[in-house]
């Protein structure tokens, strides 16, 4: 069962995919980082995985804890809400993969939130590998070398931005409009 916040994020993802009206937070070098073909690959593959989101998220968290069991205590015992939250945030980020939307603005909010949760720079590679592994598992024969490279680029940009923001001095408290 997906909660109201997840439904809101999913709707926003769909709107961002259809709209070019949002302002950009991306630097010119970051805009060029992903090609139009890579964006299409990532979005298409996300749409395929989203159809089976619960299984993909279960595989994702299982893989994180397999790779780094020492971080398990950072997470709640019941991961059901976290799974919904992660897939909805991933939907928002995937929906922001073009130069006219705020991909990095979303990553900034995530970075500040994850800093509060105790995330450290060394956790991000583990999460990235778990994400790629779960996507590959969920996509089966649709997972290609080109698709993997596109997802690696997306994760690399988002993770680096989250680490950078997490290492920056804390920002003033975010209002409800900055929840991500």
Q: How many CB atoms lie within 10 A of CB 56?
A: 23
What string of pLDDT tens digits covers the 180 residues of the chain? 445 544 444 444 444 443 332 323 334 344 347 888 998 999 999 999 999 999 999 999 999 999 999 999 989 999 999 999 889 888 888 888 875 555 666 666 676 666 667 677 677 789 899 999 999 999 999 999 999 999 999 888 888 877 777 677 665 655 554 545
pTM tops 0.85, yes or no: no
**pLDDT (tens digit per residue) in 2-17:** 455 444 444 444 444 4
pLDDT for position 4 = 52
How does pLDDT run across 110-140, given as a tens digit for each residue? 766 666 676 776 777 898 999 999 999 999 9
Mean pLDDT of the chain: 76
Separation of alpha carbons 166 and 115, rounded Å: 5
Give residue 120's pLDDT.
Answer: 74
Q: How many CB atoms lie within 10 A of CB 137?
A: 15
């Amino acid at each position: 069962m997906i909660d109201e916040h997840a439904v809101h994020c999913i709707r926003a993802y769909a709107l961002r995919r259809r709209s070019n009206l949002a302002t950009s937070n991306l630097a010119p070098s970051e805009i060029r980082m992903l090609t139009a073909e890579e964006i299409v690959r990532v979005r298409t593959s996300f749409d395929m995985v989203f159809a089976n989101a619960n299984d993909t998220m279960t595989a994702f968290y299982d893989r994180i804890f397999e790779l780094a069991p020492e971080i398990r205590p950072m997470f709640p015992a019941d991961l059901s809400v976290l799974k919904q939250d992660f897939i909805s945030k991933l939907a928002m980020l995937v929906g922001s993969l073009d130069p006219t939307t705020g991909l990095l603005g979303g990553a900034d909010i995530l970075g500040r939130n994850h800093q509060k949760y105790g995330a450290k720079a060394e956790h991000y590679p583990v999460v990235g590998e778990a994400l790629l592994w779960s996507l590959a598992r969920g996509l089966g024969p649709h997972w290609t070398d080109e698709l993997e490279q596109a997802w690696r680029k997306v994760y690399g940009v988002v993770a680096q931005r989250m680490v950078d923001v997490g290492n920056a001095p804390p920002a003033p408290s975010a209002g409800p409009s900055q929840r991500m």
